[in-house]
């Protein structure tokens, strides 16, 4: 029997299955890490290999896959509805259009899985596995992913337009997490995924010049970072230009994100308010401080939050799509 202890292996924190189930509540009974053990035994290795190939081509794709999974689970549950094309596609929602990326990677993984195990593995499970692999292949924690999700039959563009926004106050963001069964710890831990990847100027340039309408920048933004970001994102500049969330370790999954927040170096307003806003004092600030001190604690709570998010259910029937972009005929 495996113990409750955690181990550090190859730079990764590996939490035992028993420990995770003790720490992380809300696991759906119908999901099982071994559900494809006989029907698709090579699944985990196929997904891992394809994510590795994609990351070798572009390191940034790791952060994009996490974001894709997040934006999927917050709308209709984790049912791969974000992958569907069509007039009501969630891809066309304001938070996603010309922003969310990684669809072609999921297509490639799905094709490889279908070649090995046709008609067995859902796109929702593939996306969940790919998000996990993007973390551990970037130096973050590893965990076993509970599997058995079905692919949704409909997209929901209206709900996708109500995803948590980088422009919202902290209480609104917390409320949106609570609405899908998550909590304040999940807000902070999952925000830690901004320890790697990049964001477009359009998502934070409001902080640089006229944040309050009085012609001044966001006072919580550290001055040297403010100067650097102004050069990247000048007034009237290209809003699609990107800047890294963590310039010191752009592609590494670590706890530097939280160290940055303590110094006023959060890129998005929704990042910095976790530490600097008035509401943070009694909600999120202590967690930011704790994660800045302990990467192990961050990795542990992030893992639990990913498990909880990955188990958000839509309560509807589904299928195993043959093509992740369209429902089966």
Binding residue positions:
72, 75, 77, 79, 81, 90, 164, 194-195, 246, 254
Residues in the annotated binding site for heme b:
194
HEC string of 247-274 equals: CCCCCCCCCHHHHHHHCCCCCCHHHHHH
Q: Which residue has the tokens 């089966």?
A: 328
| Catalytic sites, residue numbers | 71
User: Where do the H-state alpha helices sit in the chain?
Assistant: 17-23, 43-57, 61-73, 103-116, 123-136, 157-160, 170-179, 184-191, 223-232, 256-262, 269-276, 285-293, 295-310
Question: What is d(CA 312, CA 305) in angstroms, rounded to the nearest whole number?
Answer: 11
Tokens of 167: 């422009």
Question: What is d(CA 157, CA 71) in angstroms, rounded to the nearest whole number?
Answer: 11
Are the beta carbons of 262 and 255 closer than 8 angstroms? no
Are the beta carbons of 267 and 222 closer than 8 angstroms? no
| Helix, coil or strand: residue 147 | strand
Residues in the annotated binding site for Ca(2+):
72, 75, 77, 79, 81, 90, 195, 246, 254
Q: How far is CA 258 from CA 60, 234, 253, 307, in A?
A: 20, 26, 12, 21
Residues in the annotated binding site for substrate:
164
**Residue 29: partners with Cβ closer than 8 Å, 6 or more residues away:** none
Question: What is d(CA 197, CA 134) in angstroms, rounded to the nearest whole number?
Answer: 11
- What is the DSSP secondary-structure string of 194-230? GGSSEEEGGGTGGGTS-SSSSS---TTS-HHHHHHHH
């Amino acid at each position: 029997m495996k113990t409750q202890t955690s181990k550090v292996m190859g730079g990764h924190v590996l939490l035992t299955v028993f420990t995770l189930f003790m720490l992380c509540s809300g696991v759906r009974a119908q999901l099982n890490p071994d559900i494809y053990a006989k029907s698709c035994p090579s699944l985990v290795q196929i997904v891992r290999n394809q994510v590795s190939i994609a990351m070798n081509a572009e390191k940034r794709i790791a952060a994009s896959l996490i974001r894709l999974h997040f934006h999927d689970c917050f709308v209709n549950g984790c049912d791969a509805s974000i992958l569907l094309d069509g007039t009501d596609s969630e891809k066309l929602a304001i938070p996603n259009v010309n922003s969310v990326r990684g669809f072609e990677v999921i297509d490639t993984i799905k094709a490889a899985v279908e070649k090995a195990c046709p008609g067995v593995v859902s796109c929702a499970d593939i996306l969940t596995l790919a998000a996990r692999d993007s973390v551990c292949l970037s130096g973050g924690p590893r965990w076993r992913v509970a599997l058995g999700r079905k692919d949704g039959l409909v997209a929901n563009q209206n709900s996708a337009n109500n995803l948590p926004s980088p422009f919202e106050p902290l209480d609104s963001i917390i409320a949106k997490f609570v609405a899908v069964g998550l909590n304040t710890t999940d807000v902070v831990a999952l925000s830690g995924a901004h320890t790697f990847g990049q964001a477009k100027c359009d998502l934070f340039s409001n902080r640089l010049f006229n944040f309050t309408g009085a012609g001044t920048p966001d006072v919580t933004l550290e001055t040297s970072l403010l100067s650097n970001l102004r050069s990247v994102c000048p007034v009237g500049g290209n809003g699609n230009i990107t800047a890294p969330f963590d310039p010191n370790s752009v592609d590494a999954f670590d706890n530097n994100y939280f160290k940055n927040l303590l110094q006023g170096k959060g890129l998005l307003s929704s990042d910095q308010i976790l530490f600097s806003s008035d509401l943070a004092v009694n909600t999120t600030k202590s967690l930011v401080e704790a994660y800045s001190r302990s990467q192990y604690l961050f990795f542990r709570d992030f893992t639990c939050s990913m498990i909880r998010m990955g188990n958000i259910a839509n309560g509807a029937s589904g299928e195993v799509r043959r093509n992740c972009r369209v429902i089966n005929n």
